[in-house]
Amino acid sequence: MHKQRAFIGHHGPELLDDGTTRFRIWAPDAQNVSLIVVGAQTLPMTANEDGWYSIDAPYGAGTLYRFLIDDELQVPDPASRAQAGDVHAPSLVVDTSSNYLWRNPNWLGRPWEETVLYEMHVGLYGGFTAMEKHLADLAELGVTAIELMPIAEFPGDRNWGYDGVLPYAPEAAYGSPEELKHLIDTAHGLGLMVFLDVVYNHFGPDGNYLGRYAKHFFRHDQQTPWGDGIDFRRREVRDFFIDNTLMWLLDYRFDGLRFDAVHAIPDRSFLTELAERVHASVEPGRHVHLVLENEDNRASLLTAGFTAQWNDDGHNVLHALLTDESQGYYADYHQDATTKLARFLGEGFIYQGQNNRRGEARGEPSGHLPPTSFVLFLQNHDQTGNRAFGERLVSLADADALRAATAVLLLSPMVPLLFMGEEWGARQPFLFFTSHHGELADAVREGRRNEFAEFAEFADEATRERIPDPNAVSTFENSRPDFSARQEPGHSEWYALYRELLSIRHREIVPRLQGARFLESRVLAQAAVLSRWQLGDGSRLRLELNLGTQAAPLPTASISGELLFASREATHAHDQLAPRMARLYLEKAT
């Protein structure tokens, strides 16, 4: 068992050696601030320079407290380490240095090349403690890293997590900080890394009081899809989020973070400073990975301290080919899809400066990056849950074509991400859910339905009303995967496929990934391509992929290699690739 010293940042309470606690808050627009100790007393705080207020008070771990702004508004600590209930409840002082004894203190993570990510929603598993029961099965399957959807305190007890308003506090409905640490510790004991999805581009609509006493946390001249942008030009704001990153990595020992929608963070220097601070702060030899979601395809960030980016381009073109869907953003990928499929497999991003359907240039060249700079997925919370009825691919795509795409997902040199339940072909939907109340609940419900008004199948209001209410408990419950179905007919076959492919990946691909690079990718026929990658040991990986309905001609000059996997039996001549089929070969270095 091992205690570790707590990370001390600029924001939030600090336990002092004499048993007291230093409380502090950045409130530049408040005339005065007091500390309310629940059940005890109210103490005026000292106004310091640059809008800070602080007080050293004779209270320790377990203390419940609030801040009183201008003698009229009680607010939680914006850097609360835990809440005694929901986002409007009192904050709780937590001793992050001695509240948990680590059983795996020498865990240093795993190299990025070994990563197989598995995205999970903690609430649908029943909380931190209940989630632990599933970890051994994931490790046995071949998953090497779980990725938790955001867990920062949000209003209510059901939410995707992107409505968080207290980014330092683990959601109380999921469990305590100690239970979160136990989950991470248990994962490490099984050889699993743990990643966390964090949201630094906005706050949720309920429970964020910063605008009342720290107006300059936001900038009104810059808008995001969620309102005023966050002002990352300010030192206090930068530290608020960088310290949050360091808390998750140092106090909780997460192995990596996924940064949500950084295209809504226009100040690139904040991102590069964050990466620099992380790499300077973690202990030598420890593997910590920083992963971006970035619609702008800023490839240059992937050589500036960030490990990889979610490859939406790869998902979108594969989805368009698997489902023939062309509405919304899939329109950018449905047209000339085969050429775009080849570009994604041969260079990473599809949009590298080209114009999208709106005539906007998007992206930067990416072919020089290693394939491991891209996180590939066929499903995730966004592309499943942002469908009106949350359907999974197994319900939308031809089974043979989906098996072929799954082979690409798990055997390409890109880093694969699975979405919970995908590996056994779960058919339960993953829906958009919240637990808002009153006018906000009404607005979210109507806003959700109006999102689909431009889609032909939802043109009439009666059809849109069939879209599940995000605030209904049934919407949440219907999104819970049936974990008992894994061994049932129709599901066990998918599970066996994922298990086989991950075994091949760890045996044949992972040991050769360091130093891998893109080599070539060319169109064979409609929806069919041939792609090759140079692996780190000099061998080459060759993919023959046909997602179309007609056989595709193969080059006449045969290329030798060991067949690693074929998604179905070959039923055509040796110079043709059957429809809806993938084959992968390893051409070993001589």
- The residues annotated with a catalytic role in the active site are 260, 293
Tokens 């780190």 sit on residue? 536
> Can you tell me the distance from the alpha carbon of 255 to that of 289, in angstroms, rounded to the nearest whole number?
6
Cα distances from 261 to residues 40, 165, 311, 423, 521, in angstroms, run 42, 16, 12, 26, 29
Tokens for 182?
């136990």
Q: How many CA atoms does the CB half-sphere of 385 hold within 13 Å?
A: 25
Task: Report which secondary-structure segment, H or E, holds 193.
Answer: strand 193-198
Pairing of strands 576-577, 552-553: antiparallel
Query: Tell me, what DSSP letter sits at residue 423?
Result: G
Q: Is 411 exposed, middle or buried (0-12, 13-18, 19+ CB in 10 A)?
A: buried
Handedness of CA 137, 140, 143, 146 (dihedral sign): positive
Closest CA to 494 of 372, 414, 409, 552: 409
Closest CA to 313 of 346, 280, 351: 351
Closest CA to 350 of 358, 372, 342: 342
Tokens 């020089």 sit on residue? 368
263, amino acid identity? H
> Can you tell me the distance from the alpha carbon of 439 to that of 455, in angstroms, rounded to the nearest whole number?
26
Q: H-type helices in 118-227, by residue range?
A: 122-125, 128-132, 135-141, 177-189, 210-213
In contact, 204 and 162? CB cutoff 8 Å: yes
> Can you tell me the distance from the alpha carbon of 466 to that of 447, in angstroms, rounded to the nearest whole number?
14
Phi and psi at 333, nearest 5°, equal -115, -20
In contact, 312 and 332? CB cutoff 8 Å: no
Strand locations in 345-386, DSSP E?
374-377
Question: What length is written for the chain?
Answer: 590
Cross-strand partners of 309: 292, 374
Q: H-type helices in 65-149, by residue range?
A: 122-125, 128-132, 135-141
Q: Is 536 exposed, middle or buried (0-12, 13-18, 19+ CB in 10 A)?
A: middle
